[in-house]
């Protein structure tokens, strides 16, 4: 048996490249680590997720692209994932709600 000692280095802090054209939201309680989106004329545009279930999140992004923000909230708010009390789609809604509060 090899008794080598491994030294674990701490991970560097996550740096998020600035993009003035999109909003950033850090979701909680889901696999996705970052949600980017833009709102133009009360419609959701340029939606992307970092982390999470790649295919499903690409599908959600494609489906909500161009949809009115209020319709996105009505459709996706409150959805859960497995035994979690939230989902990536629900977290997108939380990000949109924060955005609307700041407007």
Number of domains in the chain: 1
Task: Read off the pLDDT of residues 48-102 as tens digits, 9 standing for 90 and up.
Answer: 999 999 999 999 999 999 999 999 999 999 999 999 999 999 999 999 999 999 9
- Take residue 13 and report the two structure tokens written for it: 């802090």
Q: Tell which residue, 59, 26, 65, has the closest CA to residue 45.
A: 65
In a domain, 49, yes or no: yes
Contact 49/32 with Cβ under 8 angstroms?
yes
With respect to residue 11, please indicate whether it lies within any of the assigned structural domains: no
Q: Please, are residues 79 and 57 in contact by the beta-carbon 8 Å criterion? A: no
* Residue 3 belongs to a domain: no
Task: Determine if the pTM surpasses 0.85.
Answer: no
97 within domain boundaries? yes
15 domain residue, yes or no:
no
């Amino acid at each position: 048996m090899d008794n080598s000692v491994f030294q674990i280095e701490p991970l560097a802090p996550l740096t998020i490249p600035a993009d003035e054209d999109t909003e950033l939201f850090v979701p909680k309680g889901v696999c996705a680590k970052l949600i980017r989106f833009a709102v133009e004329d009360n419609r959701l545009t340029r939606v992307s997720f970092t982390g999470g279930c790649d295919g499903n999140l690409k599908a959600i992004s494609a489906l909500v692209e161009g949809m009115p923000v209020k319709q996105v909230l009505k459709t996706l708010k409150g959805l859960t994932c497995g035994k979690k009390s939230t989902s990536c789609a629900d977290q997108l809604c939380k990000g949109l709600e924060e955005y609307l509060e700041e407007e």
